[in-house]
């Protein structure tokens, strides 16, 4: 089982709470079994709180295992943690590389934008994806993904484990 400190848990919980006072607006994180570094996904908003159509989402490393700073995703990182976003009418649909069969909708929710997807057969606000991987000779092999969120209706915690 993956262990994180209570402080790290509280920081992730606060960062993923869906309150966006400034732009950009954090949507969710990817946590990995390899180290404490996170991949952060943020919606890019204009001053009115509307998603920017040219660059709706950006992703970057939060280097918790070293400096605590930020770093752009490299080419190999984008294959593992990259995404695409398409606008379909008034809706933005995001497809994340690790869970391609689970589209994510970018939804305006009050003064913020949230990532909505099905987790455990419930429409949920996605807060975290955990990736358990085993290091290989050349590339790691994903053993499973875990999706964590909060139900859109009711607010209860949602969870699902996906084995590729």
**Which pLDDT value is given to residue 12?**
38
**Which pLDDT value is given to residue 23?**
52
Q: Is residue 1 part of a domain?
A: no
Q: What is the number of residues in the chain?
A: 164
Q: Is residue 2 part of a domain?
A: no
In this structure, what are the phi and psi dihedrals at residue 78, rounded to the nearest 5 degrees?
-65, -30
CA distance 113 to 107: 5
CA distance 63 to 82: 17
pLDDT band at residue 162, thresholds of 50, 70 and 90? very high
Q: Is residue 76 part of a domain?
A: yes
The pLDDT tens digits for 26-76 are 999 999 999 999 999 999 998 888 899 999 999 999 999 999 899 999 998
Q: Model-level pTM greater than 0.95?
A: no
Q: Is residue 67 part of a domain?
A: yes
Q: Which domain holds residue 50?
A: 23-162
Lowest pLDDT segment from 73-77, 93-97, 137-141, 147-151: 137-141
Q: Which residues pair with 124 in a beta bridge?
A: 117, 151
The pLDDT tens digits for 11-24 are 333 344 444 544 56
Q: Is residue 15 part of a domain?
A: no
* 99 token code pair: 């869970």
Q: Is residue 6 part of a domain?
A: no
In this structure, what are the phi and psi dihedrals at residue 60, rounded to the nearest 5 degrees?
-155, 165
Q: Is residue 51 part of a domain?
A: yes
**Which pLDDT value is given to residue 17?**
43
Q: Which residues pair with 141 in a beta bridge?
A: 134
**Which pLDDT value is given to residue 140?**
83
The total number of structural domains in the chain stands at: 1
Q: Is residue 28 part of a domain?
A: yes
Secondary structure class of 47 (helix, strand, coil): coil
Q: For the chain, what percent of residues have pLDDT higher than 70?
A: 85
């Amino acid at each position: 089982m993956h262990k994180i400190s209570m402080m790290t848990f509280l920081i992730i919980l606060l960062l993923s709470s869906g309150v966006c006072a400034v732009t950009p607006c954090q949507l969710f994180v990817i946590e990995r079994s390899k180290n404490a570094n996170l991949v952060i996904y943020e919606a890019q908003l204009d001053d009115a709180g509307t998603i920017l159509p040219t660059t709706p989402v950006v992703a970057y490393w939060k280097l918790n295992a070293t400096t605590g700073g930020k770093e752009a995703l490299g080419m190999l990182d984008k294959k593992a943690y990259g995404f695409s976003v398409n606008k379909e009418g008034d809706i933005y649909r995001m497809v994340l590389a690790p869970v391609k069969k689970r589209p994510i909708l970018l939804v305006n929710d009050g003064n913020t934008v949230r990532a909505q997807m099905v987790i455990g057969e419930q429409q949920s606000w996605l807060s975290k994806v955990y990736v358990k991987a085993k290091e290989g000779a050349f590339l790691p092999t994903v053993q499973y993904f875990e999706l964590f969120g909060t139900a859109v209706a009711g607010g209860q915690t949602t969870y699902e484990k996906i084995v590729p």
